[in-house]
Structure 1
Amino acid sequence: MDSLNLKLPIPARIGFIITRGQSCYWRKLKTELSSFDVAAVVSELKQRIIETRIKNIYQTSRSTILLKLHKPNEQLQLLIEAGRRFHLTGYVHEIPSKPPAFCMALRKYLRNGRIREVFQHDFERIAVVKVDTKHGEMMLIAEFFGEGNIILVGSDGRIVQALTYRKMRDRNIVRNEVFVYPPSRGKNPFKLKLEDMEELKNFGETSVVKALTRFLSIGGLYAEEILQRAGVQKATPCKALTKTQIKRVFEALSQILSKISRGTIEPAIIVDAEGEYVDVTPLRLVKYEGLKHVPFESFNEALDEFYSKTTSKQKVAVLSEKLTAEIERQERILESQRKALEKAKQQIERNRRIGDLIYMHMHELQQLMDAMKRGKEHGKTWEEIVSEIQSRKREEKKPEAFFESFDQKQLILNVSVENMSFPLKLRKTVQENAASFYARAKKAEKKLRGIMESMRKTEEAIEKLRRKSADELRETEKVKPLKAVKREWYEKFRWFRSSEGFLVL
């Protein structure tokens, strides 16, 4: 049977093709923030959430929390998804009726707290929100590398709560232990000087694009962007870099950092020819020239729009993968049942055929069996008996011509009749041997009926899964992210509009 015929993306394959000149290449769809993204988000959040009060906290999924923030005449929502994203959101997010333990702990310590600071740690993919609470100044630390984590740290620097606890080689995320940031994987570009860039030459034969990702830990996308802006070929060996090239690389990096730190960014969602979202960036990148850019007023807004839409599509893709995997599993079961069915049919045919052959040559086969028994009664060894039979077989005499071999331990005579080889038990009569083969055929027939019934049930299960898959996927695709309705400042009072259109409180 064919598997589910739905043209839906599978999460591991979500991505897009970039075409530049005569070449084109595949790029995976954005699923996490880069260091530059975190820097741009934090820069904007400093203008939006400082001095806001944390009204409430919700955990919308295993790895996602939503902070409801309040400031005079404005309500904000800050979304943090471990290992993936961090931004203000204007969309409605489904909230579970019963908050998980992690969410309850965050509420206990952070609710009604006031956000005093938000910053990026050392240009790493780590964002820190400092909150002034009744328990003292606490830090909510969000990590966006690997699987990510969300960690609450107390005023004494010790871990109060974490989304995921783990022990690692260089640090532990364990309750009551002092929180330690992960070791820096590269230099902080904001603290970099021109002379520091000379260290790139120490990477020797390594291509400059690879060296730059390690040297600054910035990821391949921005490493290539910096080199393109600097006019340096990414495959250039580091030892071959000239002072002029190194200076241009430094200037290109500084230009990008300056735009982010000053807030003069150009946030946009990158869209392919089919209108599908492929990336979201705080700056216009040379790599994406030629693709459509949908501009936004803020990077937070761009991230919110991008992830809200792509997350919805990924839900469809994950569901598609799950349902297709189950259908394929059932189809493998069906294929196994088909093979068992064919084997049962062959067993029925073979055993019946052997039973028929035994009855057709009953007299000759009985003679052969009796001859062997008489030889043993006269004191001959089995070797002597077999030797005599083989001698007569060479002379093509019957019934010895049917003989193939003899198992002395089991007392089983193996014969070949009309090109069909089968065993005969010497302790039984010819009729009893034939009856045993007919019994096997009957048993195989019963098994055949069971297999056919199982196949029917499996085929019904597959069809049911196909219908369920189509229905669930259609329903999932229908669910579109909804924008939260913005409440006006006066809605907390009793109000109405007069017939002239005036607001009356």
Structure 2
Amino acid sequence: MDAKRELTSVDLAALVTELGRYEGAKVDKVYLYDDDLLRFRMRDFDRGRVELLIEVGDVKRAHVADPEHVADAPGRPPNFAMMLRNRLSGADFAGVTQYEFDRILVFEFERDDENTTIVAELFGQGNVAVLDESGEVVRSLETVRLKSRTVAPGSQYGFPDSRIDPLTVGYDAFVRRMDESDTDVVRTLATQLNFGGLYGEEVCTRAGVEKTLDISDAGEAEYEALYDAIGRLADRLHEGDFDPRVYVEDDRVVDATPFPLEERATLEAEGFDSFNAALDDYFYRLEREPEEETTGTERPDFEAEIAKQQRIIDQQEGAIEGFEERAAAERERAEALYAHYDLVDEIISTVRAARAESVPWEEIEETLAEGAEQGIPAAEAVVDVNAAEGAVTVDLDGIEVPVDPSVGVEKNADERYTEAKRIEEKKEGALAAIENTRQELEAVERRRDEWEAADEADEADDDEAEERDVDWLSMSSVPIKQPEHWYEDFRWFHTSDGFLVIGGRNADENEAIVKKYMDGNDRFFHAQAHGGPVTLLKATGPSEKAREVDFPDSSLEEAARFAVSYSSVWKDGRFAGDAYMVDPEQVSKTPESGEYIEKGGFVIRGDRTYFRDVSASVAVGIQCDPETRVIGGPPSAIEPQAATTLRLEPGKFAQNDAAKRCYREFKERFADQSFLRKVASPDKIQEFLPPGGSSIVEE
């Protein structure tokens, strides 16, 4: 029997009852592990330390855990965790509910300055969305844009379509839903009544109804027995009448349930005082049990990959549809401004004149409201006054348009057209992305067809294994493949996610990177110390079409580490430092009045994203495939790409001496000395070493 890796709707209904006991606990900190496991560390007056876990990856669960079962805090918290800490530190846990009978939990947190809602989606791909008091998404682990719902920052959170709740459905509605089915009883309970396979079978067993009985053969007696069994199940869930079990088969945990199940009667069972404790024990043991051995020749799960690519396409199509609607709406607003030119001009002139006389926005709003009561068309058209943004919203025949009174009608209309154009450009990027996804889908389908048609996949696996097992160090003659790239004029490396990072070695290169190579979708990094390279995390190359990129945290962290390691932090002999990241539009060569910017320097305006206590360490290595060259940068990026590497930290050997020491170490490792001299001379190694003294880290 396969071990359960996701909680059922029945499990969540039971869990909500128990989690309510922790209402009033205060949040201390929030942690994020591996992009899919959230840990809320809280303090409860009666119970002391409370550890709430929510996981939405391959395993989907939520429960309070024994502190001894909680992993040590991860390293520097990612942005998502920092955002949650800012919103939740000191907040009270105000309760949790299950959305309808879906596998969705809604956690409420209250604080004097703001309330926060956490929605955990424990189905499908899994997701966690953070909502403000208005239900707007602040951040989410995954962005979802479908025709039916949207989960994206800045949008109202969209729940999935409503599903029937079998625990509260009336008898007549229950009968109608059963009669609509064209399959057997257990499948109808599992799908139409949303019980899932296990509890669909359990309801049948408790009701004494044959699972495979065709719906067309089921009568009132069967329906009444099933409905009565469901009612008894619902009563236990609502009353918290639990007798939790963890089930074991062949010394491996396979399930945890809030009460004993007849469908699990043949398995060894262990009792627990609470369902939370049972879930905690179950998932703790599940995580530590060894994976079942495989032969390595199992058929790849092409269907799962195809389904994943199709889901991505559905989301991208939803995004494109959204772009089209938004662009059309902006053009419609622009055309409405021109269609009601005189009316809008009157509104602008009235508000502008009042502001010129220093009339407060509140008074302007009151005057417009009085004018609307008197039937003045211009005043009636104003539906909102936004003092914070210095704007008014006007209703033009049912089309609401924000208007900036500081500029004329033409400028306002032009801004709407410009916004429509910007949105259409994003649509073009989405169209290119969906084409790439379709190509990936086609590639998976081709691989599936090849697997089914012949044994070619096995041969391909053997070839790949041989390639992975190439012992480059012992080869008597390593082939040299060394094409030239534009970025070799600078310091550079490729992140572990494949993105290019470049940095300047001096003021001239810093200037060139910003003026010639920085694009709007890149990210600009710099150490929080004087004397460091301008560092760019590139979204695309100079010859590629511009596109928006959601950079993984790993790439952001590696770029920050690069910026710190090649700065004065290293030269000063320090082992860590801070770095910050901004968008390209925040970087300027225009100084404040009366100030001067030296060559290679820039002014940064606006908020910065900081990376604290970033380790100053680098790796240099010899890459043999697909190209042959020296590479260097953050160890997490360099070590997987190289045949052999050395790690360095700030130390006592001057840059050229450290390069020679690295070369001598590599020379002892490679049998092909000729190859090493051609691709990895001390001078070439030195190009990847930070300025200042270095030492090789002994392994």
TM-score, structure 1 normalization: 0.57
Structure-2 residue corresponding to 1:292: 268
Identify if the C-alpha distance between structure 1 residues 224 and 98 changes in structure 2 by more than 3 Å, giving closer, same or farther.
same
Q: What aligned pairs does 1:335-346 form with structure 2 within 5 A after superposition?
A: none
* CA positional deviation for 1:134: 4.0
The question of 1:40 aligning with 2:14 is answered yes
Paired residues of 2:178 and 2:188 also in contact (CA < 8 A): no
* CA positional deviation for 1:334: 7.0
Structure 1 residue runs of 4+, over 3 Å off? 316-322, 327-337
Correspondent of 1:160 among 117, 125, 138? 138
Paired residues of 1:201 and 1:240 also in contact (CA < 8 A): no
* CA positional deviation for 1:136: 2.2
Whole-Å separation in 1 of the counterparts to 2:120 and 2:199:
22
The alignment of Structure 1 onto Structure 2 pairs a total of residues equal to: 304
The question of 1:78 aligning with 2:56 is answered no
TM-score, structure 2 normalization: 0.41
* CA positional deviation for 1:329: 7.8
Paired residues of 1:44 and 1:300 also in contact (CA < 8 A): yes
Structure-2 residue corresponding to 1:267: 244
Whole-Å separation in 2 of the counterparts to 1:201 and 1:261:
24
Whole-Å separation in 2 of the counterparts to 1:31 and 1:183:
24
Correspondent of 2:229 among 241, 249, 252? 252
Give SS of 1:269's match: strand
Structure-2 residue corresponding to 1:281: 257
Whole-Å separation in 2 of the counterparts to 1:89 and 1:193:
36
User: Which amino acid is 1:66 matched to?
Assistant: R
* CA positional deviation for 1:247: 0.7
* CA positional deviation for 1:332: 3.8
Paired residues of 2:15 and 2:276 also in contact (CA < 8 A): yes
* Larger CA Rg, structure 1 vs 2: 1
Whole-Å separation in 2 of the counterparts to 1:170 and 1:204:
24
Correspondent of 2:32 among 59, 78, 85? 59
The question of 1:182 aligning with 2:160 is answered yes
Query: Deviations for 1:273-319, whole angstroms, at most 9, x for unmatched residues?
Result: x22111111121111112111000011111111111111226x5699
* CA positional deviation for 1:29: 1.6
Whole-Å separation in 2 of the counterparts to 1:319 and 1:132:
48
User: Which amino acid is 2:24 matched to?
Assistant: E
Whole-Å separation in 1 of the counterparts to 2:90 and 2:295:
41
* CA positional deviation for 1:121: 0.9
User: Which amino acid is 2:19 matched to?
Assistant: L
Paired residues of 1:109 and 1:135 also in contact (CA < 8 A): no
The question of 1:220 aligning with 2:194 is answered no
Q: What aligned pairs does 1:320-331 form with structure 2 within 5 A after superposition?
A: 331=462
Query: Deviations for 1:320-371, whole angstroms, at most 9, x for unmatched residues?
Result: 979xx9x99885457799xxxxxxxxxxxxxxxxxxxxxxxxxxxxxxxxxx
User: Which amino acid is 2:14 matched to?
Assistant: A
User: Which amino acid is 2:109 matched to?
Assistant: V
Query: Deviations for 1:382-415, whole angstroms, at most 9, x for unmatched residues?
Result: xxxxxxxxxxxxxxxxxxxxxxxxxxxxxxxxxx
CA RMSD of aligned residues (A): 2.6
Structure-1 residue corresponding to 2:185: 208
Give SS of 2:157's match: coil
Q: What aligned pairs does 1:40-439 form with structure 2 within 5 A after superposition?
A: 40-47=14-21, 49-73=22-46, 74-82=48-56, 84-90=60-66, 91-184=69-162, 186-272=163-249, 274-313=250-289, 316=291, 331-332=462-463
* CA positional deviation for 1:123: 1.6
User: Which amino acid is 1:52 matched to?
Assistant: A
User: Which amino acid is 2:110 matched to?
Assistant: D
Identify if the C-alpha distance between structure 1 residues 187 and 298 changes in structure 2 by more than 3 Å, giving closer, same or farther.
same
Whole-Å separation in 1 of the counterparts to 2:284 and 2:77:
22
Paired residues of 1:213 and 1:223 also in contact (CA < 8 A): yes
User: Which amino acid is 1:67 matched to?
Assistant: F
User: Which amino acid is 1:248 matched to?
Assistant: A
Paired residues of 1:52 and 1:114 also in contact (CA < 8 A): yes
Paired residues of 1:203 and 1:239 also in contact (CA < 8 A): no
Whole-Å separation in 2 of the counterparts to 1:105 and 1:204:
46
Whole-Å separation in 1 of the counterparts to 2:466 and 2:38:
45
Paired residues of 2:167 and 2:230 also in contact (CA < 8 A): no
Q: Which runs of 5+ in 1 are unaligned?
A: 1-15, 17-27, 338-505
* CA positional deviation for 1:115: 1.1
Identify if the C-alpha distance between structure 1 residues 319 and 43 changes in structure 2 by more than 3 Å, giving closer, same or farther.
farther
Whole-Å separation in 1 of the counterparts to 2:173 and 2:8:
22
Give SS of 1:300's match: helix
User: Which amino acid is 2:277 matched to?
Assistant: E
Identify if the C-alpha distance between structure 1 residues 115 and 195 changes in structure 2 by more than 3 Å, giving closer, same or farther.
same
* CA positional deviation for 1:169: 2.4
State the identity as a percent.
27
Identify if the C-alpha distance between structure 1 residues 211 and 334 changes in structure 2 by more than 3 Å, giving closer, same or farther.
closer
Identify if the C-alpha distance between structure 1 residues 336 and 109 changes in structure 2 by more than 3 Å, giving closer, same or farther.
closer
